[in-house]
Structures are given as structure tokens and as C-alpha cells.
Amino acid sequence: MTFKVTKTNTVEEYLVKDKYNDYAYFFVDVKNGVLSIVSNYGSMGYRWEAPGDNFKKFLTELNTDYLMNKLGKKAFNLDKTIKNMKRWIISCRKKENCTKEEARYVWNEVISEIESLWVQDEGFFWGIINSYSKDIEKVDVHYLEGIEISEEWTDYDKYFINHIWKAFVEQLKQEI
């Protein structure tokens, strides 16, 4: 197998540091629409196919939620997911999809196991749910559609976007 390697000289580098010495290196390839970030908040990057004529201007105008969805993934929120699951059980019970005993079993046994294991990841959560699938199907056969996972940006993500990204964007605005 043969690979072609091309050295490019189209990347500009920016360093943002805060008073806590948190850092983020931003590597911007304006020619190819590439943004790479190496920071103590994690490493992330994305390439936009058609960012327009001025990539730096494009970056300054990005919706931050859109940007974060391109760069990372929201974190699984166990507490809110359990609240959603309890609302789902109550809703199924009101619709008379299940008996009181079936609902109570899922509420007491399944949710208790999820809480006792302090599940911190969506895959692990669904693994436990699926191990109880016969019991959960008694509450609602469409449980995969009914149980809503809750995800949110971590405090690190929020700090990054509200402070580090903001400082980087201000620098870009000065240049354009």
C-alpha cells in the first residue's frame, strides 16, 4: 500500500491561557477549513467542507452549540436519565400499559441497580436496561423509544466555550 504525504504550510497557531494556566492551542488551516485544538480540556478538531471565503470569519460566527457538537459529545447525566425513566414509568402506568406490580418492579429493582452501580455511560446504562428487557417490556414493549437519555455539556465544556473559545474568537475578530 502506498501513501502520499504532503507537507502543508497553511496552518496558523494560537495559544490561549487563562489565569489558572489552563491552556488551549488552536491550529487553524484557513485554506482547508480545519480547526484542531489541543488543550487541557481535551483534544478535538473538525474539517468543514465549505466554510466560505473567509474561514476565520466563519469561525467567529459559529453557534457555540453547533461547534461543540462538531468537536465533542455531551456527557451522560445519570440523575436526569433516572428522572426521565421514572416519568416514563408513571406515563406507562397512567396509560394502563402495565400493572402496578410490573411498574413497581422496574422502579424498585432496575432503577435501584442502575443507581447502585453509579452508571456513568450510556452504553452501560443500556446494558443494564437490556438485561432486564423481559421485565421492562411488561411496562412498555416500546421502551427503547420511551426511555429518554439525558446528556449535557460538562462544566469543563462550558468553561471552554464561555471563556477559552470566546478569547480565541476575539483574537480572530481583530485579525479580520
pLDDT, mean of each 10-residue run, the chain (176 residues)? 89 94 94 94 92 94 94 93 96 94 94 91 94 93 92 91 95 94
Q: Indicate the number of domains in the chain.
A: 2
What is 54-98 written as a DSSP string?
-HHHHHHT--HHHHHHHH--PEE-HHHHHHHHHHHHHHHHHTTSS
Residue 2, domain member (yes or no): no
Q: Residue 19 gets which letter from DSSP? A: T
Statement to judge: residues 146 and 84 lie in one domain: yes
Q: Do 136 and 96 share a domain, yes or no?
A: yes
Q: How far apart are CA 71 and CA 61, in angstroms?
A: 16
Q: pTM for the full model?
A: 0.76
Q: Which of 100, 116, 107, 112 lies closest to 86 in space, CA to CA?
A: 107
Residue 1 domain flag: no
